[in-house]
Amino acid sequence: MLHSHLTTLNAVSLVLNTFKDEGLPSEALLAGSGIRAADLSRADTRITTNQEMRVCANAVALRREIGLELGRRMHVSSYGMLGYALLTSATLGDALRLALRYPALLGTLFELSLEIEGEQVWFCANGYGENPQLAVFNTELCLVSLKVICEDLLGRPLPLEGARFSHSAPDYHASYGQSFPCLRTFDAGDNAFSFAKSWLDQPLPLADTVTHQAMAERCRKQNLEFTGRQTWLERIRKLLAAQLHAAPGLEGLAEQMNCSPRTLRRHLHDVGCSYQTLLDDLRFERAKLLLNETEWPIYRIAETLGFSETASFRHAFVRWSGVAPSQFRA
């Protein structure tokens, strides 16, 4: 995947805080992600979804059902300015439609929608295109957190009428009952939960027209800035991806971007990464592709990715994935 979208630190911070309560140091969860502990203290830090997924994979390796727990902890207050805009909306329907307008600020990996069927409304999360091995985790995290957001906005429980999941029932499926105390269907055609349509017109207890208008305008501006960073990062990734066999270095890449190395370094820092992190990310994705889809010998893959020695590539791949290239291919 050569295009890695930017996202917020919400999920990563939640993972770290959840395991911190159990005494697990953040270093173990951040391993291989390129995220530094210092990055977590900056509210405007943006990371790539690949970085986020690495932290989540580390968490799932420790506890398979962690997506459900993280979803229950991801309250509307986790979303900063957007959270305040949602809380001060007039009705639940107004809040949810505002959230759907700014998926980049939600940091979602899904395409969210509200589908009305008669007197029911289905809150749907589909179009997942990230690591398939983390599909169940991300679905659990997304749907549970969306339900939690609805209840935070209402200030009361939201009675559900049904829930459906595109994945098969995991061995811990009974745990789904805590968040979805309704009819649950697995191996469904999509991911969604439903409630009575009348809830969309329910006034919110913290509705405030003046505050809402101010917060909504700030969300609009933040979204413009965020999507601008996204476009810029994708341009850099595309340039670098075409030169993996002979990476240009920070100075060379800056020249291609028509900026100074210092400016490029600052912009990369603003989105929570570095030149080396981007290069490693792209090399890892390309390496996995070549190992899975070709019969090339390891030395040829190493050369294609710009490694002067096969041993250096093997060492890097172990650092990225935890296994040697030959084991990954097997």
Crossing angle between the packed helical segments 92-101 and 80-87, to the nearest 10 degrees: 150
Kindly list the structural domains of the chain, giving each domain's residue range(s) and its CATH number in brackets, ordered by start.
1-63 (no CATH), 74-207 (no CATH), 219-329 (1.10.10.60)
Written as one string, the DSSP assignment of 230-242 is HHHHHHHHHHHHT
* Residue keyed to tokens 């670098």: 240
Collapsing DSSP to helix, strand or coil, 112 comes out as strand
Beta strands 6-7; 111-117: pairing state: unpaired
The per-residue pLDDT string of the chain (330 residues; one tens digit each, 9 = 90 and over) reads 223 466 777 788 889 999 988 888 888 899 888 787 777 776 666 777 778 888 999 999 999 999 999 999 999 998 889 999 999 999 999 999 999 998 888 878 899 999 999 999 999 999 998 888 999 999 999 999 999 999 999 999 999 999 999 999 999 999 999 999 999 999 999 999 999 999 999 999 999 999 999 999 999 888 887 777 777 888 898 899 999 999 999 999 999 888 889 988 988 887 778 899 899 989 998 999 999 899 999 999 999 999 999 999 999 998 888 889 998 886
Is the four-CA dihedral 87, 89, 95, 100 of positive or negative sign? negative
- Residue 105 CA to residue 108 CA, distance in Å, equals 8
pLDDT at 1: 28
Q: Which helix (H) or strand (E) holds 272?
A: none
Largest pairwise CA distance in the chain: 64
Do residues 164 and 184 make contact, with C-beta atoms less than 8 angstroms apart? Answer: yes
- Residue 327 CA to residue 72 CA, distance in Å, equals 36
What pTM value is reported for the model?
0.72
Taking CB atoms within 8 Å and a gap of at least 24, the contacts of 125-129 are 125/191, 125/192, 126/166, 126/190, 126/191
Collapsing DSSP to helix, strand or coil, 2 comes out as coil
* Residue keyed to tokens 């040697």: 324
- Residue 7 CA to residue 108 CA, distance in Å, equals 8
Considering only CA atoms, which of 204, 55, 75, 238 is closest in space to residue 144?
75
- Residue 30 to residues 57, 63, 251, 297, Cα–Cα distance (Å): 10, 16, 28, 31
Collapsing DSSP to helix, strand or coil, 97 comes out as helix
pLDDT at 258: 82
* Residue 159 CB partners (closer than 8 Å, separation 6+): 195, 196
Give the helix, strand, coil percentages of the chain, each rounded to 5: 60, 10, 30
Which tokens in the block code for residue 64? Answer: 């398979």
- Residue 273 CA to residue 228 CA, distance in Å, equals 16
Q: Which DSSP letter does residue 173 get? A: G
